[in-house]
């Protein structure tokens, strides 16, 4: 990793910490002020651009269960329901 990429990663880490602090504040107060939301949005967009600049990409992840997993989950749900009625 180049020094420039390291600098971008450090900036991204700083922004992540700031965003998490803001998220905590949003969760514990009634309603954030419009300027707080604007800052949050700008920081979020800046973070996305920094992460893209160092090569991180958005990737879809297949969350579809296999047939075996699906059938196992289905059997488990049915068994739990049967126990609840008995």
Residue 82, domain member (yes or no): no
Structurally, how many domains does the chain consist of? 1
In which residue ranges of the chain is pLDDT below 70?
A: 58, 86
User: In this predicted structure, what is the pLDDT of residue 61?
Assistant: 81
- On whether residue 21 sits in a domain, the answer given is yes
For the chain, how many residues are written? 86
State the pLDDT at residue 86. Answer: 59
Return the ∠ at Cα 36 (arms to 13 and 53), rounded to 5°. Answer: 30
Mean pLDDT, all residues of the chain: 90
**Is residue 65 in a domain?**
no
Where b means 16+ CB within 10 Å and e means fewer, 38-73 reads eebeebeeebeebbeebeeeeeeeeeeeeeeeeeee
Contact in structure between 46 and 15 (CB atoms under 8 Å)? yes
């Amino acid at each position: 990793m180049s020094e420039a990429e390291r600098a971008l990663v450090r900036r991204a880490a700083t922004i992540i910490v700031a965003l998490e602090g803001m998220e905590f504040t949003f969760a514990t107060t009634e309603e954030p002020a419009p300027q707080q939301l604007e800052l949050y949005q700008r920081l979020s967009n800046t973070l996305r651009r920094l992460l893209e600049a160092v090569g991180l990409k958005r990737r879809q992840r297949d969350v579809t269960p296999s047939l075996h997993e699906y059938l196992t989950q289905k059997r488990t749900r049915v068994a739990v329901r049967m126990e609840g009625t008995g």
